Amino acid sequence: MENLMFVYCSCKVIWTLLVTILGYASSLPVGDDSICTAEELAKYNIIFTGKWSQTAFPKQYPLYRPPAQWSSMLGVTHSSDYSMWKKNEYASNGVRDFAEKGEAWVLMKEIEEAGEKIQSVHGIFSAPAISSGTGQTFTELEAHSRHPLVSFVVRIVPSPDWFVGIDSLNLCEGDHWMEEVSVDLFPYDAGTDSGFTFSSPNFATIPQDTVTEITCSSPSHPANSFYYPKLKILPPIAQVTMVKLKKNQLGLSAPYFNLPAKSNEIIDSVSETPLDCEVSQWSSWGLCRGLCRKTGTKIRTRFVLLQPANNGMPCPNLDEETGCEPENCV
């Protein structure tokens, strides 16, 4: 009987320990961030550098109404239980409103609700808009050992629903925080508007498509503002750099002129994307002009659709003539 009681008590203790361990494990965020053993908090300067220049992206580059520019940045530090946006998944209503119109209200509500329900969001950060395609903006963010992931979005202006951003970048490497990380950014389509060009009118995508990366060949349509079929890859349209603050820097904003020098070097070394001339189809042949019973000439024309840039293929002849026999001669 004593042996049975001992076995019973031992099983009960083991079961209690298992329940306790499983309960603790279930409260941890799922994914790589669950193994972060670095100090509890870390602060970073996050610097966004716009590289959207007419030299790097000459096709249909917006010069006015409005000119090329960037919206404000909206981002969060979070655990793997939360996702602001993901490639090949459907954008939320909040991301749709932000990508299409730059409106952040719905996205902010989504972030707050995620933080309240499953405590997956540690903090929200934002940085001012940039009024040109090239330039910098920055702010500070705070990451937590249980919330070491960073996500953000910045809208491309003007555009149908295009944006750049980061999805769940982990700033923690095991037992320490990364000192500095830089990421090149490329354009994404939110999948909610069907426009091909920067200035396309609002035309909702029905049914909604998933978030997809825009490349030099996709969408594969000559009207696409990022369509550069001779390139293997688009040059980065922006870059983000995150620099960990030292303890004696906490709470102090980095002055603009103290940003990492290499960010400025990137702006100066913009790649020149060649853009070939594009012309229309030939018109029909004009009337044959000339004297009766003698060879005359007729002409057809075409016009320039896109001027070449950065040593791209020059435009061919825009008119062509050929011999003909005049008609209706008496």
Condensed to tens digits (0 to 9), the pLDDT of residues 166-201 reads 999 999 999 999 999 999 999 999 999 999 899 988
Burial class (CB in 10 A: 0-12, 13-18, 19+), 159: buried
* Mean pLDDT for the chain overall: 83
What is the pLDDT confidence band of residue 243, given thresholds at 50, 70 and 90? very high
DSSP assignment of 47-81: EEEEE--TTT--TT---SSSPSEEEEEEEEEE-TT
For domain 277-329, say whether CATH 2.40.128.720 is its number: no
For domain 42-247, say whether CATH 2.60.40.2130 is its number: yes
Task: Tell me the C-alpha distance between 45 and 246, whole Å.
Answer: 11
Looking at the chain, the domain(s) classified CATH 2.60.40.2130 span 42-247
Looking at the chain, the domain(s) classified CATH 2.20.100.10 span 277-329
In a 3-state reduction of DSSP, which class is residue 157? Answer: strand
In a 3-state reduction of DSSP, which class is residue 149? Answer: strand
Is 305 a residue whose pLDDT tops 90?
A: no
Asked if residue 122 lies in contact with residue 172, where contact means CB atoms within 8 angstroms, the answer is: no
Residue with tokens 């009766």: 292
Predicted structure pTM score: 0.75
Position with higher pLDDT, 247 vs 143: 143
Residue 318: Cβ within 10 Å count:
12
Structure tokens at 153: 């979005």
Q: Which amino acid is at 236?
A: P
